[in-house]
Amino acid sequence: MSCVAILSEFASHPQAISFTVAEGSKNWVCTVVYANPQMDLRQQVWAHLWELGGRVTLPWLVLGDFNEILLSTECRGGRFSMARASQFLEVLNECNLLDMGAKGLRFTWYRNQRGVVLAKRLDRAVCNVAWQAMFPEAYVENLCRVYSDHYPLLLRREGSREKSQDRPFRFQAAWATHRDFEQIVREAWCRSTPTLANGL
């Protein structure tokens, strides 16, 4: 049985819109981004996300076209800017957002410039730990494009139907930065469960 989601605007910006999703007992914030292709104007959306990071107290999902990459492996052709990637990473870290990764195609944007193919992973979904805990099976697929030079993202919250019930435990390094990390692990370890993963 599916629930009806109620959306209400949380914040808006020329390069992003955020809304609160109320879906049964689950409440979370979704921000959809279209970062400006011009680097100097893109700074404005980084500042907006930074400000939002200080206000959002619910589980938070941010997705869309960031017009930036994090790693040199996320591009083919063209130049990789470590300074710009570091700035993008700093914004994600300050907002406590984790990259969700993606299945399917490696790049989400392609362009043929004078016979040279440029490809980058400009589009992605990131979320905070609370959103990941709310939807632990969620994943992203990079789909095939039709008309645009961008490939669309498909976010699936339920997880893959092919997955078995027994999922491997995955540790997120960001968990270790939580102020109560040691206490939570200690309490989980002391419970009468066979593994730490089950104790959490």
Q: How confident is the model at residue 138 (pLDDT cuts 50, 70, 90)?
A: very high
Considering the four listed CATH numbers 3.20.20.300, 3.60.10.10, 3.20.140.10, 3.10.105.10, the one that applies to the domain covering 5-166 is 3.60.10.10
Is the CB of residue 10 less than 8 Å from the CB of residue 29?
A: yes
**Range from 58-62, 109-113, 117-121 carrying the lowest mean pLDDT:** 109-113
**DSSP character at residue 106:** S
Q: Which helix (H) or strand (E) holds 133?
A: helix 129-134
Phi, psi of 166 (to 5 degrees): -85, 95
pLDDT-above-90 percentage for the chain: 60
- 139-184 pLDDT, tens digit each: 999 988 777 889 899 999 886 545 444 455 566 767 777 787 787 7
Query: 67-73: which pairs have CB atoms within 8 A and are 24 or more residues apart?
Result: 67/35, 67/36, 67/37, 67/42, 67/122, 68/35, 68/42, 68/122, 69/120, 69/121, 69/122, 70/99
Q: By C-alpha distance, which of 105, 120, 123, 106 is closest to 32?
A: 123
- 6-59 pLDDT, tens digit each: 888 999 999 999 999 998 889 999 999 999 999 999 999 999 999 999 999 999
Q: Which residue has the higher pLDDT, 132 or 144?
A: 132
Buried b (16+ CB within 10 A) or exposed e, 104-129: eeebbbbeeeeeeeebbbbbbbbbbb
Is the CB of residue 20 less than 8 Å from the CB of residue 28?
A: yes
Q: Kindly report the number of other CB atoms within 10 A of residue 147's CB atom.
A: 5
Domain ranges, ordered by start, for the chain: 5-166, 168-200
